[in-house]
Amino acid sequence: SQQGEEDPQALSIQEGENATMNCSYKTSINNLQWYRQNSGRGLVHLILIRSNEREKHSGRLRVTLDTSKKSSSLLITASRAADTASYFCATDATRSSYKLIFGSGTRLLVRP
Amino acid sequence: EPEVTQTPSHQVTQMGQEVILRCVPISNHLYFYWYRQILGQKVEFLVSFYNNEISEKSEIFDDQFSVERPDGSNFTLKIRSTKLEDSAMYFCASFSLAEGYNEQFFGPGTRLTVL
């Protein structure tokens, strides 16, 4: 079955540093999305990258996708304390009801 | 900006009771979903709904669960007889294929606590 898994599980960095989170999955996908979740709160969509794209930018976010390795990375540059949250990748399988399969997430702590 | 809304934000119930969680998806979306997240765990797919019927469901979505779109705007998740392990955050999401493979829009969630 398809599964998105992130690493690291937890990441602690100093404000101003870059944070990189990785995600791996198992089956063919239409697209891969990254979401952010503050503790106990809802899911905020960050960025979507389609299966035929290799890299995408949005503000301080940079996402890469390597379909040959079935992996993606999310880079947050010049991190801020407000970036502290959990980050999840979610994949949308090519043969499904477009449901999303979420990874287990990376808990990011940005120290001021 | 259009958004998905969910009510209530928090529901506390006794084990064995029925609960109905409500969602109002974005108005021109055609695909609807329920997901759940047990505290500290990943978000899990429960069910997808399209064209007034379930299009896919997970093994979590057993006979105790049902979904309905009673009036063309609301989308509900019913748990007939709640169990302690149903305690979780439940998220509704909607999606439009018309504009290509776009993001799923998630509601803020309903926190269900079963005592």
Q: What single string gives the DSSP state of each residue in B48-85? A: EEETTEEEEE-TT--TTEEEE-TTSS-EEEEESS--GG
- The answer, yes or no, to whether residue B9 has pLDDT greater than 90, is yes
pLDDT band at B99 (very low <50, low <70, confident <90, very high): low
Contact A98 B31 (CB under 8 A): yes
- pLDDT of A4 > 70? The answer is no
* pLDDT given at position A1: 34
C-alpha torsion sign, points B27, B29, B33, B39: negative
Q: Tell me if residue B109 falls in helix, strand or coil.
A: coil
CB contact under 8 A, B106 and A35: yes
Among the partner residues A50, A99, A103, nearest to B45 by beta-carbon distance: A99
Give the whole-angstrom CA distance, residue B10 versus residue B109: 9
**Closest in B41, B45, B111 to A100, CB measured:** B45
Given the structure tokens 């606590």, which residue do they identify?
B113
For the beta sheet containing A5-7, the strands, ordered from the edge strand earlier in sequence to the opposite edge, are A5-7, A19-24, A71-76, A61-66, A55-58
User: Across residues B23-45, what is the average pLDDT?
Assistant: 93
Cβ B63 vs Cβ B74: under 8 Å = no
Residues of A in contact with B106 (CB under 8 A): 35, 42-43, 45
CA distance A101 to chain B (A): 7
Listed in sequence order, the residues at least 6 apart from A85 whose beta carbon sits closer than 8 Å to its beta carbon are A36, A37, A38, A39, A107, A108
What was the pLDDT predicted at B100?
Answer: 61
Which residues numbered 26-45 in B keep a CB inside 8 Å of some CB on A? 31, 33, 35, 41-45
Contact A108, A85 (CB under 8 A): yes
Instruction: Give the Cα-Cα-Cα angle A51, B30, B108 (nearest 5 degrees).
Output: 80
Looking at chain B, the whole-number percentage of residues with pLDDT higher than 70 is 96
- Residue range B37-84, pLDDT digits in tens: 999 888 999 999 998 999 999 999 999 999 999 887 899 999 999 999
> Which residues make Cβ contacts (< 8 Å) with residue A10, sequence separation at least 6?
A106, A107, A108, A109
- Is the pLDDT higher at A97 or at A43? A43
Task: Give the per-residue pLDDT at A3.
Answer: 55
Question: In this structure, what token pair is assigned to residue A3?
Answer: 């599964």
- Partners of residue B45 in chain A, C-beta under 8 Å: 99-102
Q: Please identify which residue in the block is written with the tokens 């974005």.
A: B26
**Which of 69-108 (B) contact A at CB < 8 A?**
89, 91, 93, 95, 97, 101-108
| Chain A residues touching residue B33 (CB < 8 angstroms) | 99-100
pLDDT of A77 reads 97
Signed CA dihedral, B52, B12, B93, A51: sign only = negative
Residue of A nearest to B47 (CA): A99
Q: How far apart are the first and last CA of chain A?
A: 40
The answer to which of A42-51, A74-83, A92-101, B24-33 has the lowest mean pLDDT is A92-101
Select from A42, A97, A101 the Cβ nearest to the Cβ of B55. A97
- CA within 13 Å, CB half, B108: 7
How does pLDDT run across A20-32, given as a tens digit for each residue? 999 999 888 888 9
CA–CA gap between residue A61 and residue B31 (Å, rounded): 28
Give me the pLDDT at residue A2, please: 37
